[in-house]
Structure formats: structure tokens, C-alpha cells
Amino acid sequence: MNNVVDHDTLTINTLIDIPTLKKGAMKDSAPYVAAPEFQQALGFPGELVDDWQARAIEKFGELLKKSRALQVYMDSCVKCGACTDKCHYFLGSSDPKNMPVARQDLLRKIYRRYFTFAGKYFPRLVGAEDLTEAVLDDWYSYFHQCSQCRRCSVYCPYGIDTAEISMAAREIMDHIGKGQKYCNEILGKVHKIGNNLGLPVAALINTVEDLEEDLEEETGVTVRLPVDEKGADILLVTPSADFFAEPHVDGLMGYAKVFHQAGVSWTISSYASEAANFALFIGSYEQMKLVAERIRKAAEDLGVKRIIFGECGHAWRVAYSFLNTLAGPFDFLDAAYPIPQHICEFTWDLIEKGELRLDKSANDHMTLTFHDSCNVARGSRMGDYPGGQFEIPRAIIRACCNNFVDMAADTIKEGTFCCGGGGGLLTDDLIDIRTRGAAPRMQALQDVVTDHGVTHMVAICAICKSQFAKVMPTYGFAMDNVVSLHQLVSNAIVLDGQNVNGVEHTDLDPGSQAQ
Amino acid sequence: MAYEYNGTVVEHDEEGYITDISVWNPELALLIAADENIEMSDDAWEVVNFLRNYYEEYQIAPAVRVLTKAIKKKLGPDKGNSRYLYELFPYGPAKQACKIAGLPKPTGCI
């Protein structure tokens, strides 16, 4: 098993230091290769094809033609070094190939060799190299040590987006038969069953019924989690981890309470019971479109007027930035609301209008900080103003909690560090690099724990939540020190008819509003 | 990649999950558990048996919350919580207990 972490190397410093280089430290870190059945289910070759070099270069050429951005990213790096210390995997692993510029160069040197005049005739003068097996091994290893979080691109003066480069590299590898097991197996499950988990409809219904029971027991109010209800106004598309894992499920129960209190009709779809779209991670436009079209079909079949996304980072990037081009136009939805809408936008709108009764003291046992998820922070927006994706989640937390502290300014908002498990890396075979990649966030968290007594970190992404629950114990925190944002809403919200300390709340008393 | 016991060979995938779930038996479970450094106490068996029954009905492992609730009913509130389940199966009740129960690994953002 390669999921053993040398805990001695994972000490937390008070400042984020630039590590001394350890050449090749992570060269053996690579995820399991997808078996032929997982590859073929997505239309990729089952295993590495004989003429893989030629096919890789052909595919690369195709991508360069299709994406002007990729071409510019290949051409425009001036090796200024601004990105070198910005990657959490570099900071956590000390491997120089995890510097974004070096990661990009793994592809760029092949670009130069086969697609530029100088590289074709004078390769050694321009850092061009042949596509050899060793290069392919490096690609497979280091392009799966990039979570496509785009932090480096914030600091790049040319705006070179390493995520796009690592997506292109993975797309090329899929097309020559060297795909990643984790992502490709999961995409196959979405096509077959409708979600990443492989949760069939009967299990989905059993799970939500169980949650309904718990909600009734907790509040004394019948709060429903409807599945496949035709004619509902709202389709909730949420990561399937929300039905399965902790603390995700506490967030899902929070959405249900908010919908209940808002008095709207809503439903989950068993056909599109997944917000995540792992096709983004493997750079496959065709797969991304297929997954997105499931959401459109579910919305049409159920006759909903609105689509709301639950707490999922990259799903929100795909939804906010690409859903319309992938599966639009959504002219059958109600244009009076954002298409699509984030659950945080929905909840915040109600809070602003004074339509939720929130008892902040229900969260007094915690002091919270907020981890901005990379894809929400740098790949999308919330609300109708720049930076809404930073302000709205924080505003909800402040409305639900008395104790909130932000982490250091260069580790949040557009400068946020990835959790270490994004971009298709949330798999056990990559636990070493995942744990190392979490180091910068853990350092920033440790600082606010020490200085401000922070007890819990809030996240709005299923990957972030699972990753932190898994790696935080390595850094001396407990697995339940990470919480869902709507878990806080769930704790604080007082539903109509809910019995709290012997007092039954019948209608909304604006005087008790927590703002 | 295979488990071997009493002259029987049982194939498993890269991560130790058996590939043909129909060949599972308690003896094999003990072997997988030993591989994972898990001691199969009565409580651990309770979890494994619940997973297998749930899987038979629903073709997937139960959500962690469903599992803790069921264990709470059977073993009491002291044991019906995720902390206790993680004591039994440190690598996570869903993944590690599924491996021992001979069920496929739950995938996704979990």
C-alpha cells in the first residue's frame, strides 16, 4: 500500500515556509491506472495503445487547435518564478516538479519539440524533449499532483492557468489508454446509476426517509426530502456525498430545513442525483456535457422552474460557468431567479429578507473559520457583485454564529489554499500527496486556533469536507472539526412549530432576527 | 492479486477489495481483517453483518448516519456514534468495513 505517510515530516510551522528542494521526492506518487472496463465505458482505449507517442502528439495538436488558451499558455511563460512557491503540493512535498512552472514544463517541453520551429530543429537549445516513456511516467505522476485549484494562476503575471494544462495532459493520457481509475470509474457510475457513489434509487429513498425521521425527532416538525416529485418548483442538485458522508449529511438536512421554512416545493432527482462533474478533472468536454445533460433532462422531466446546487466546489464552477453552454439554453426555467442558483444564494436571500428565525446561540459551542473552496473562489461567483462568493458564505455564518474569525488574508478568498484533495485526487492511493498538500491550510488553521481559539472550520464543498475529515487527524485536529455551512444553518434555524426549550414557535417574530 | 486460505485463491483489486463478492465467507473476512490489522470483535462483526444485509437489499453500503443509527439500536448509544465506529475501523467504517465485508468500495467525494 502506498498510503503510508511519514508523520515526522508533517510538523506545522507558524509561517508558511518555502521548503528546501527535494528532487524527485514525489516521483513515485501516482494513482492507480483505470482498468480497461472503466476506460472503455467512457470511450477511451482500454490500455496503453502501441502507437501511444504518435496518438498523444496527435491529440495534443487537436487540443492546441481547439483551445486558443492552451496555445497561449504553452507559448507565454517567461519563467519569472512568481508561481514557484504558490502551490500547496510544492509547499507540502518540496518536490521541484510540483512548482507550477515545472509542472507546466512537463507538457511545454513536448509542445516545443513537436509544435515549434526551434524545438523541431534545435531541441536542446530551447528545452524541447522527445515524448519518451519517462516523460509519460512524469505526466501521470505529476499531473495527478495538481488539484487544478488555480491558485498559481492568480499570481502569474500572464494568467497562465495550470489547471487547464493539467486537464489537457489528463485528456491526452485518457486518449492513449492511460486514465486514472478514481475519476474514470466514478464517471462510469454516473452514466449507469446517476451519481458518483453508485447509490441506486431505492437506497437513495431509504436514506432520505431515515433523515426525515431524524429531522422530525429533532424538531417535532415534519420536514421532507422529496425524491422525483414531478411539478416541484425547485430541483436540488447536490453531491451524492451529501447522502452518505459526514459532515456532508448535516448540510443536506440544513438545506431541507431552509426549503421547508421558505415554504417552497422542491425535489431531488434520482436520475441526476449528483452535482459533481468529474469530467472537468479529466479535461473531457464530451464527458462533461454528458453529465451536465443529465441535470437538464431531470429538470425537464420533473417540470421544475428552478435549479439549485448544494455545497460542492467544482460542481458550482461547472454550473455557474459552463452549464448554459454545456446543456442550455435553460429557457424553460423561471428567469426571475438565477439559473442556476447556489444554495448559499438561496439561504442568504431569505436571511436578508428576514424570513428565517436564527438562534445564533445554538452554535455558541464553536468558534468558526471559513475555508474558501478553490473552485468557488476562483472559478465562479455568487450573488450579483464581484466577490459575492466570498461574502455570501461568510454573511450566512455570521448570521448563524456569534464566533467567527477569518484565517490569514493570503490564505483565503482568491488566495485560498486547496484542501489538498481536489481535482480528482480524493482517493486513498494518493493519501500521501493529499496529506502533504493540506499542510498550508493546516498551518493557517493552526494560527487561528492558537490566536483566536477557533474550534471548527466550515466548508462548502464535498471534497473539502471529506479531505479534511481524513487528513486533519494527522495534524492533531479531530475529524469532526470540519463542518458543513448548512450544518450551522441547521443548528441555528428555528422552524415554525418547532419546540425549543418548551416554547413552540408559531410564526416569525422579526424581533428575534439574528442579522 | 489474491487472498489465499485453505488452498483457496480469491482475487482482489489493487486496494484489497475482492472482485467477486459472491465468494465471501467469514473465514475470508478474518483474513482480510488481519491484513488490515483489525481485530474482529463481536461489535466489529455486528457492523460487517449489518453492511452485508444492507447491501443485499440496496446494492450499496449504507450511509454513515444510517449505519450509526442501526448500531445504536443494536449496541446502545455509547457505541452508536461515528467515533466508536472509527475505533473499530480506523480507516473509516464505510471503506474498511466494506472491504472486510467483501463489498465493493464506495466511491465519490467521500
List residues bridging with A483 in a β-sheet: A458
Q: How many domains does chain B have?
A: 1
Q: Mutate which of A5, A197, A214 to disrupt the B interface (most B C-beta within 10 Å)?
A: A197
- Among B60, B108, B110, the residue with its CB nearest the CB of A200 is B60
Residue pLDDT, tens place only, B22-63: 999 999 999 999 999 999 999 999 999 999 999 999 999 999
Looking at residue A456, its pLDDT comes to 98
Contact A492, A360 (CB under 8 A): yes
Locate the domains of chain A by residue range: 7-185, 194-405+454-504
Cβ burial, residue A510 (10 Å; 0-12/13-18/19+): exposed
- Among A32, A214, A426, the residue with its CB nearest the CB of B109 is A426
Looking at residue A10, its pLDDT comes to 55
Number of alpha carbons in the 13 Å side-chain half-sphere of residue A343: 29
Q: What is the pTM of this model?
A: 0.95
Considering only residues A500 and A39, tell me which one the structure prediction assigns the higher pLDDT. A39
Q: Which helix (H) or strand (E) holds B70?
A: helix B64-75
Residues 6+ apart with CB under 8 A from A83: A99, A100, A101, A152, A153, A155, A156, A160, A162
CA of B15 vs chain A CAs: smallest distance (Å): 8
Eight-state DSSP code of residue A484: E
Query: pLDDT category, A510, cuts 50, 70, 90?
Result: very low
A4 pLDDT above the threshold of 90: no
Contact A387, A372 (CB under 8 A): no
- Closest residue of chain A to B106, computed from CA coordinates: A197
Residues 6+ apart with CB under 8 A from B79: B43, B71, B72
Q: Mutate which of A2, A199, A209, A244 to disrupt the B interface (most B C-beta within 10 Å)?
A: A244
Q: Which helix (H) or strand (E) holds A499?
A: strand A499-500
CA torsion through residues A339, A345, A347, A349, sign: negative
Measured CA to CA, the distance from residue A492 to residue A129 in angstroms comes to 59
Measured CA to CA, the distance from residue A180 to residue A185 in angstroms comes to 8
Read out DSSP for A345-370? HHHHHHHHTT-S-B-GGGGTT--EEE
Do you know the residue count of chain B?
110
Residue A267: what are its φ and ψ, rounded to 5°? -155, 155
Looking at residue A16, its pLDDT comes to 67
Residue pLDDT, tens place only, A364-419: 999 999 999 999 999 999 999 999 999 999 999 999 999 999 999 999 999 999 99
Measured CA to CA, the distance from residue A374 to residue A461 in angstroms comes to 9
A509 pLDDT above the threshold of 80: no
- Among B57, B58, B82, the residue with its CB nearest the CB of A246 is B82
A508 pLDDT above the threshold of 80: no
Of A88-97, A257-266, A329-338, B71-80, least confident by mean pLDDT is B71-80
Q: Mutate which of B56, B91, B110 to disrupt the A interface (most A C-beta within 10 Å)?
A: B110
Measured CA to CA, the distance from residue A248 to residue A28 in angstroms comes to 32
Q: Which residues of A touch B108 (CB under 8 A)?
A: 186, 189, 195-198, 239-241, 244, 276, 462
Place of cell 447509490: A199
**Residue B100 C-alpha from the chain's centroid:** 4
Q: Which residues of B touch A245 (CB under 8 A)?
A: 63-64, 94, 109-110
Q: Which residues of A touch B86 (CB under 8 A)?
A: 479
- Closest residue of chain A to B70, computed from CA coordinates: A210
B94 pLDDT above the threshold of 90: no
Looking at residue B6, its pLDDT comes to 84
A260 pLDDT above the threshold of 60: yes
Question: pLDDT averaged over chain A?
Answer: 95
Query: pLDDT category, A515, cuts 50, 70, 90?
Result: very low
Share of chain A above pLDDT 70, in %: 95
Residue pLDDT, tens place only, A429-473: 999 999 999 999 999 999 999 999 999 999 999 999 999 999 999
Place of cell 425549543: A500
Measured CA to CA, the distance from residue A325 to residue B24 in angstroms comes to 47
A511 pLDDT above the threshold of 90: no
A240 pLDDT above the threshold of 70: yes
CA of B83 vs chain A CAs: smallest distance (Å): 9
Pick from A243, A239, A163, A255: nearest CA to A210? A243
Looking at residue A12, its pLDDT comes to 54
Q: Is B109 a catalytic residue?
A: yes
Measured CA to CA, the distance from residue A357 to residue A347 in angstroms comes to 12
CATH code at B21?
Answer: 1.10.10.370
Residue B5 belongs to domain spanning: 1-110
Q: What is the ipTM of this complex?
A: 0.95
Q: Work out the average pLDDT over A318-329.
A: 97
Residue pLDDT, tens place only, A208-218: 999 999 999 99
Place of cell 422552524: A495
CA of A197 vs chain B CAs: smallest distance (Å): 5
Place of cell 491558485: A151
List residues bridging with A499 in a β-sheet: A504
Looking at residue A499, its pLDDT comes to 78
Query: pLDDT category, A505, cuts 50, 70, 90?
Result: confident
- Among A240, A249, A428, the residue with its CB nearest the CB of B15 is A428
- Among A181, A240, A470, the residue with its CB nearest the CB of B108 is A240
Residue A500: what are its φ and ψ, rounded to 5°? -120, 120
Tell me if B15 and A189 make a contact (CB, 8 A cut-off).
no
Pick from A313, A334, A125, A165: nearest CA to A235? A334
Number of alpha carbons in the 13 Å side-chain half-sphere of residue B75: 19
- Closest residue of chain A to B105, computed from CA coordinates: A197
Query: pLDDT category, A1, cuts 50, 70, 90?
Result: very low
- Closest residue of chain B to A429, computed from CA coordinates: B15
Pick from A325, A324, A327, A321: nearest CA to A292? A327
- Closest residue of chain A to B60, computed from CA coordinates: A199
Tell me if B108 and A186 make a contact (CB, 8 A cut-off).
yes
Helices (H) and strands (E) in chain A, counts: 23, 9
Contact A142, A89 (CB under 8 A): no
List residues bridging with A3 in a β-sheet: none
Q: Which residues of B touch A206 (CB under 8 A)?
A: 58, 66
Contact A299, A333 (CB under 8 A): yes
A366 SS3 class? coil
Q: Which amino acid is at B87?
A: E
Contact B68, B80 (CB under 8 A): yes
Residues 6+ apart with CB under 8 A from A215: A221, A223, A253, A256, A257
Contact A255, A236 (CB under 8 A): yes
Query: pLDDT category, A361, cuts 50, 70, 90?
Result: very high
Tell me if B14 and A206 make a contact (CB, 8 A cut-off).
no
Measured CA to CA, the distance from residue B101 to residue B28 in angstroms comes to 9
